[in-house]
């Protein structure tokens, strides 16, 4: 399956819905979207990965790149993911310590709001 991307604003936070496979072929599209959102002054991001079927190190690089961009503006990039197959790659690479990973979009937003 190819990559489908969408985004909407909820409680002042930009939520990015990602569906499909994030790999060396599709990751550039996600990178462009994240860069575009940051360029439009969206610095609080939640990436919903509940419908992501595959994620490789290229995709991880894009997410880390997005995190670095929003942090440059004192922003945040949290993830929503409960799929074990996806969480495993975050654990292997130690990135569970870098990203806030939540069970639902609402919980991710609530966690971000509580830190403000």
Partner 1 sequence: MATVEVAFTPLPAHVRTARLVATAVARRSGVEESLLDEVRLAVGEACSRAVEAHRRHCPAEPIRIELSDLGEKFEVIVRDAVPGPAGSSANGKTNATQDNGVSFPAGFGLAVISGLADDVRISATGTGVSVRMTWPAQVAAEALPRQVKAFNGGN
Helix (H) or strand (E) holding 9: strand 4-10
Smallest distance, Å, CB 89 to partner 1?
A: 7
Residue 13 or 60 having the CB closest to partner 1: 60
> Are the C-beta atoms of residues 7 and 37 closer than 8 Å to each other?
yes
Q: Which of 35, 5, 6, 34 is nearest to 21 (CA)?
A: 5
Smallest distance, Å, CB 79 to partner 1?
A: 16
Residue 32 or 106 having the CB closest to partner 1: 32
Binding site for partner 1 (CB under 8 A): 21, 23-25, 31, 35, 54, 56-58, 60-62, 64-66, 68-69, 85, 88-89, 92-93
Looking at the DSSP bridge assignments, the partners of residue 58 are none
Residue 35 or 101 having the CB closest to partner 1: 35
Smallest distance, Å, CB 23 to partner 1?
A: 6
Task: Tell me how far apart the alpha carbons of residues 55 and 22 are, in angstroms, rounded to a whole number.
Answer: 5
Task: Tell me how far apart the alpha carbons of residues 104 and 10 are, in angstroms, rounded to a whole number.
Answer: 13
């Amino acid at each position: 399956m190819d990559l489908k991307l969408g985004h909407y604003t909820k409680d002042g936070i930009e939520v990015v819905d990602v569906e499909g496979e994030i790999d060396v072929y599709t990751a550039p599209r996600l990178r462009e979207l994240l860069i575009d959102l940051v360029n439009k002054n969206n610095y609080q991001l939640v990436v919903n990965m509940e419908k992501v079927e595959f994620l490789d190190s290229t995709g991880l690089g894009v997410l880390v790149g997005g995190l670095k961009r929003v942090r440059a503006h004192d922003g945040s990039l949290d993830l929503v993911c409960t799929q074990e197959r996806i969480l495993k790659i975050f654990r292997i690479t130690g990135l569970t310590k870098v990203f806030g990973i939540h069970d639902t979009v609402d919980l991710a937003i609530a966690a971000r709001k509580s830190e403000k």
